[in-house]
Amino acid sequence: MQTIILKIAENGVIREIQDDNINAGGDTYESVRIYEWSGGPINKMEFIRDICLDVGMDFGNSRQRNQIKITEDWGINYEPTDEEMHSRIKDIECEVKELRNRLK
């Protein structure tokens, strides 16, 4: 049986995995990983992804129509600067251009 233990740390979370029958071979397995929140949003997204994978959630793959992705974005009430909005517009325009090119 696989057990996942989460412990709150001072600046993040400690995830322990214990399996008493890894690959149905009777061997034991133990893993410990520390996710530090001071490492930025990347560590938080990795934590969410790892927990989902631990419990067997399927995210799909790049060849499927629907694929679950963990992304970072502005908060609903966040007021972006003009520079941030121009950058976002430029990124969206590039994405639209790429889609139009694929239609040809």
- Domains of the chain by residue range: 2-72, 80-104
Is the CB of residue 4 less than 8 Å from the CB of residue 50? no
Please tell me the predicted confidence (pLDDT) of residue 26.
76
Q: How many helices (DSSP H) and strands (DSSP E) are in the chain?
A: 2, 3
Residue type at 29 in one-letter notation: Y
Per the prediction, the chain carries an average pLDDT of 91
Strands 2-9 and 12-22: antiparallel
Convert the pLDDT of each residue in 5-31 to its tens digit: 999 998 999 999 998 877 777 788 899
Please tell me the predicted confidence (pLDDT) of residue 28.
85
Percent of the chain with pLDDT over 70: 100
**Poorest-confidence range of 3-17, 24-38, 81-95?**
24-38
Whole-number Cα distances in Å, 23 to 17, 26, 45, 64, 88: 14, 8, 27, 28, 46
**Mean pLDDT, residues 44-53 taken together:** 92
